[in-house]
Amino acid sequence: MSRESAERMTRYFQSLLESEGFNRGQIQWDDQSQTSDLIFKVEGRNYILISDADDEDFARLVFPNFWPLDSDEEFAAALQAISLVNGRCKGVKVYAASKNDNVVATVEFLISASNPQLSAGLFIRYIRMLNSGAEEFARIMREFANQQS
């Protein structure tokens, strides 16, 4: 997939957001990762839709940095919470970011780059899945904190 195709895919998702009454967000090209990133907000939360120039039919929806990790102890608890969330929540994958300083949630899916078709309702459901995973993670982390007190 070329940069042009990746950007066309992110423009498609801009139109889905707009059709549901949300802000279209902003598209940015990431030279290092060769991705077209649609950065947008829904209900005050930031999300990124990533279209990869090297994988034509793959898209990743990201809820970045929703839980900071401030200590080694919190990181250890987060690993346990991540395992529980990934087992309990449909379709969402939660993980520690590369520097282990915060937590990220993703929903990954396939969509035809040559003829993208995804209902706006399903795209919004993906966003809700991210929120559900993040809320479950937060609930578990609060439980862990209460057990330590």
Confidence of residue 15 (pLDDT cuts 50, 70, 90): very high
State mean pLDDT over 63-74: 94
pLDDT at 63 over 70: yes
Which residues, 6+ apart, have CB-to-CB distance to 117 below 8 Å?
111
Say what the pTM is: 0.93
Pick 3-148's CATH classification: 3.20.20.80, 3.30.70.360, 3.10.20.30, 3.30.1460.10.
3.30.1460.10
98 pLDDT higher than 80 = no
pLDDT level of residue 1 (50, 70, 90 thresholds): low
List the domain boundaries for the chain: 3-148
The answer for residues whose C-beta is within 8 angstroms of residue 29's C-beta and 6 or more apart is 3, 7, 35, 36, 37
* β-strand partners of 83: none
